[in-house]
Amino acid sequence: QMQRRKRSGPRSVKSTNDSVKFKKNYGTMTEHNDADSYQNDDGDNPHEHMFGEESSGTNLNELSIDSAMNKIKTYRLFFFIGILPMILSFAFSDLIIDSLNFLELIPMGMECMTTVLDSKGENLWVPCSKHRICTSKVEENIVRKNGEAIYRKSGDDYYALNNWVESMDIECKNSFQIGVIGSVPFFGMAVGSIFGAVLSAKFGRRVVYIIGLLITTASLLVVLIDPHYISGLVALFIYGIGVFPRMTIGYIYALELTPEGSTRTLGMLMFTGEC
């Protein structure tokens, strides 16, 4: 017992000295756990000297992350420069999907080339239907190439658009094949929504958002520059995968960078731009 008391004696003295030293330097803490409750023996708050509170006049208890961001003047410039491209990318993320009805629109009025020549020595064009264009049956006076009649859109047709009907050669495809073009991007969105949330939680929203931008940009360039049916389906599927990181993850990431008082304005600008 004497040995135990001798051993425990220095420990109690050391712990007492440590507590006195801590109290002298940092003060005591009340049960409210506030920064103002810390005071040393001189009556000073060490937090004021640590953060320069006396010179700035800022109460650390009332200083939040958003208010700290507002006090940084360069952050506002970063906010406007950084958020504007995110708003534009969010607004144009559904550009292809919203335009599918026009990109797949088959004109109502079409004309087929005939072998009959007019007074100028040019081939005459006569009205013809889709069945007449796509059938492999050889008709008299109808010029054909690769089993299909050479046709053009009627000049007075309201639905005659320069779209994917000619570039993807879908004028002779059935309704199912044409409908697949509009369904493939949504399959890609389903895949992107499964992996996008998991990857953003693991690697961060900024990385996943940038990858989504690169995916959608590359796929759109493929569709716009050299559109074909098979390559177009693949590009649209990849485009759908990048839509979720570009829209949802990008929207959340933009809200995290936005001060608390401006989140509602940011959401209004993003969704207004998309509309």
Residue type, 40: N
Mean pLDDT to the nearest integer, 121-149: 74
Pairing of strands 110-117, 148-149: unpaired
Do residues 104 and 162 make contact, with C-beta atoms less than 8 angstroms apart? Answer: no
Condensed to tens digits (0 to 9), the pLDDT of residues 186-220 reads 899 889 888 888 888 888 888 888 888 888 888 88
Q: Which residue is listed with tokens 């004028």?
A: 171
Q: Domain spanning 70-102+175-274: which CATH class is it, in words?
A: mainly alpha
* Burial of 100: CB neighbours in 10 Å, binned 0-12, 13-18, 19+: middle
Condensed to tens digits (0 to 9), the pLDDT of residues 211-261 reads 888 888 888 888 888 778 888 899 999 988 888 888 778 777 777 777 666
Do residues 127 and 111 make contact, with C-beta atoms less than 8 angstroms apart? Answer: yes
The pLDDT score that the predictor gives to residue 34 is 44
Query: By C-alpha distance, which of 154, 249, 243, 266 is closest to 208?
Result: 249
Range in 61-70, 75-84, 87-96, 218-227 with the lowest mean pLDDT:
61-70
The pLDDT score that the predictor gives to residue 76 is 62
The pLDDT score that the predictor gives to residue 144 is 75
Q: Where in the chain is the domain with CATH 1.20.1250.20?
A: 70-102+175-274
How many secondary structure helices (H) and strands (E) does the chain include? 14, 5
Q: Is 16 left (phi over 0), alpha (psi -120 to 50) or beta?
A: alpha
DSSP 63-114: --HHHHHHH-HHHHHHHHHHHHHHHHHHHTTTHHHHTHHHHTPPPS-EEEEE
Q: Which of the two residues, 31 and 74, has the higher pLDDT score?
A: 74
Joined together, the tokens standing for residue 227 give 């559109």
Residue 155 is classified by DSSP as T
CA 168 from chain center: how many Å? 27
pLDDT band at 122 (very low <50, low <70, confident <90, very high): confident
Cα dihedral value 199, 201, 202, 207, nearest 10: 60
Q: Which residue is listed with tokens 């049960």?
A: 31
Q: Is 117 left (phi over 0), alpha (psi -120 to 50) or beta?
A: beta
Residues 6+ apart with CB under 8 A from 176: none
Distance CA 123, CA 138 (A): 18
Residue 21 has pLDDT above 70, yes or no: no
Range in 70-84, 135-149, 247-261 with the lowest mean pLDDT:
70-84
The pLDDT score that the predictor gives to residue 237 is 93
* Cα angle 132, 133, 136; round to 5: 80
Do residues 167 and 142 make contact, with C-beta atoms less than 8 angstroms apart? Answer: no
Expressed in angstroms, the distance from the first to the final Cα of the chain is: 83
